[in-house]
Amino acid sequence: MSADPTTSVLAANQAFYTALSLADFALMQRLWLDSDDAVCLHPGWPALHGAQAILQSWREIFANQGPLHVWPSDVELRLYGQTAELNCLENIDMSKVRGAGIIQTRATNIFRQAAEDWKLLEHHALPLPDGGLRPLAPFTTN
């Protein structure tokens, strides 16, 4: 078992956003707890219950959307034994999709320790009240 659960949960959370950014279904599948108790709330969707329904949603999203740069910021982590709650902003680069800036959503990711790994039990992503659109920062090489 990992000596530092904080590092392990943060790594699992980063793997989630890597899977999302790369549209990597195999990685996404490895990250979710295989449980009927799993819950996923994509922005604008009804809640999905159970790992099978959740994974099917990711399969469809990846097939229709493809890779899309998404990363977390303003990460706050709370550990409760074998459960971890992570709250963050999701930054979604929409410049290739809409020619716009970065859309932000508020996300809560709940992880459960399963053997040596931290697995996603819940993912809730909700739009920000102002729509979350932020202009892209100018590109610099510095």
User: CB atoms < 10 A from the CB of 54, how many?
Assistant: 25
**Structural domains in the chain, sorted by start:** 5-134 (3.10.450.50)
> Which residues, listed in sequence order, are joined to residue 109 by a DSSP beta bridge?
86, 123
Q: How far apart are CA 50 and CA 122, in angstroms?
A: 10
pLDDT in tens, the chain (142 residues): 446 999 999 999 999 999 999 999 999 999 999 999 999 999 889 999 999 999 999 999 999 988 889 999 999 999 999 999 999 999 998 877 666 788 899 999 999 999 889 999 999 999 887 765 555 444 333 3
**What's the full length of the chain, in residues?**
142
Q: How far apart are CA 132 and CA 123, in angstroms?
A: 18
